[in-house]
Amino acid sequence: MKIRENVVKSRLKAGKVVTVIEGYHSAEIVDFLGPLGFDGVWVENEHGHLSLYEIQNITRSCDLWGMTSLIRVNKADYGLIYRTLDQGAQGVIVPHVNTAVEATEVVRAARYAPEGERGMYQSRQANGIDPVDYFEVANDETLVVVMIEDIVAVENLPELLEVEGVDVFFVAHGDLSASMGLTGQVEHPDVKNMVKRAITQITDAGRTAGGLSTTENVRYMVDLGASFLMTGWPSWVTEGGSRYLRAVEEAT
């Protein structure tokens, strides 16, 4: 038996664009979203309050539908990162990574030796697999995403991009706008130019860039060079619900 393939990581290695869906997640919601065909699920636990037990069940639902389970933790904490991976997650997303030192700490926590110092415990993904075989390939099937969401991180990109073991540098325009003194103004030309600058710098260095994508801007993001595309589903419900209520109003 082999460890489950990390679909997102495999597609990125093949030079393909990957799609990751984000929202308010539970195992049931992941089961509902599974048939849509996204490559991965961005599970929100920076601003959320999921228990380790809930993470186990969510990752099982991701496994069921062949989607990569990615958990966003709330900080670059060594124990938090590897405990999250130990629940069966196939990757972690770490916010506000602003320096090479912080990025190195993320890698140290997320990867087993010799690439890092993750505790030598077998994740749920190791069930049914010989321990030696698991530890030999686990790093290859673990995705590490660091978030570039502060202006200081953009300024430090040359050093950040030299850190080995990071798979995706995700440029987040929301917090980036706040750090630029333009809170909430994600469409401001200065914010858009900063996002463009960051993604271009990442891809020019031969690294993988990610960003928030919508139906309206997906072509723009791909043209910039972003290959890790995250989109949220709650806006679809809001749009569909509003359209339905308008239809009811017009009919009555």
The span from the CA of 29 to the CA of 37, in Å, is: 14
- Per the DSSP assignment, residues forming a β-bridge with 22 are 42, 232
Residue that has been written with the tokens 């996204």 in this structure = 38
Catalytic residue among 25, 47, 96, 173: 47
| Contact in structure between 230 and 205 (CB atoms under 8 Å) | no
Look at residue 112 and give its three-state secondary structure.
Answer: coil
Is 96 known to be catalytic?
Answer: no
User: Rounded to whole angstroms, how far apart are CA atoms 86 and 24?
Assistant: 22
Residues forming a β-bridge with 68 = 40
**Hey, what's the torsion of the CAs at 46, 51, 52, 55, to 10 degrees?**
-70
* CB hemisphere CA count around 14 (13 angstroms): 9
Residue 105 Cα to chain centre, angstroms: 17
User: Any idea which residues carry the catalytic annotation?
Assistant: 47
